[in-house]
Amino acid sequence: MNNKKIIVFIFILLMCPIGLVIKDKLQSKEDIYVLTEEEKPFQETTQEKEIKKEENITNKNITVYISGEVSKPGIVTLNEGDRLATAVEKVGGTTKKADLSGVNMAIKVQDEMHYIIPKIGEVVKENTSQVISDDNINQNKSWKASQININIATIEELDTLPGVGEATANKIVNHRSENGDFKSIEEIKNVNGIGDKKFEDMKDLICVK
C-alpha cells in the first residue's frame, strides 16, 4: 500500500512540470492576434504619395493683376497652373467691350504678372506683362531677332540700315572701337553723319543687347 502511494506521489510530481509547460504554450497561442486587412495600420502607397505631391504643387498660390475690359480690375490669388479664364472669372468676367479675338484665355498665368484684356479696336502695346495672341508673340520674336546689334554688327550688316552707306558704317565701327560699346541706341547719333532724321528711320531696326 505504501508503495502505491509513493508511486502515485512520484507520478504527480512528474506531471506538474509537464502541465505547466502545456499551459504556457496554450497561453502563448492565445496571445497571437492576426490583423485583418481592415485592422492593419494605414500605409500610403506610392501612387497615393504621388497624388498628394501633385496636390501640394496645385495648392501653391500665385498672385496676378488683371485689368482692361473686365468687370472688377484688380489683384487675384489663384492656384499655380490656373488658366487666364479662371483669373478673369475672379474679377467678374469681361465687359461687353472686350475684344477676345487676340487673347488666349487657355494660357497658364504666372505669378506676379499683369494681364490686360483689350477693348474692341484697341491696339495693345506689346510687353511681357500683357495678354497677346500666340501669332503676335511669334511675330515679336522674329522682329527682335531681325534687329541689328550696333555693338557687334559688321560693316556689311550696318550697311543695310536706311541712310547708312559703307562710309557711315565704317564710322560706326570706328566710333565703337574708340569709345566702347553704345549704351543705348540713341548714342548712335554721336557718330558723325547720323542725325535725328536718320536715327528715326533706323531706330526700330537696331538694338544694343
CA distance 84 to 37: 46
Predicted confidence (pLDDT) per residue in 158-167, tens digit: 888 888 888 9
**121/67 same-domain check:** yes
- Decide which of 19 and 154 is more confident: 154
pLDDT tens profile 51-66: 555 555 556 889 888 9
**CATH code at 189?**
1.10.150.310
- Residue whose C-alpha is closest to residue 116's, from 65, 64, 63, 67: 67
What pLDDT score does 138 carry?
46
Alpha carbon separation from 131 to 63, 76, 170, 190 (Å, rounded):
16, 16, 42, 37
The answer to whether position 7 is within a domain reads no
Residue 169 lies in a domain: yes
CA distance linking residue 184 with residue 200, whole number of Å:
14
Please give the tally of structural domains in the chain: 2
Residue 34 lies in a domain: no
Residue pLDDT, tens place only, 120-145: 876 554 433 445 444 444 444 443 44
Mean pLDDT rounded to a whole number for the chain: 75
Domain end point (choices 133, 155, 187): 133
Report the pLDDT averaged over residues 12-35: 57
For residues 83 and 106, the answer to whether their CB atoms sit within 8 Å is: yes
Strand runs (DSSP E) across 42-162, as ranges?
61-68, 74-79, 114-117, 148-149
Q: Nearest Cα to 150, choosing from 71, 204, 100, 99?
A: 204
pTM of the complete model beyond 0.75: no
Which residue, 147, 140, 109, 146, is CA-closest to 124?
140
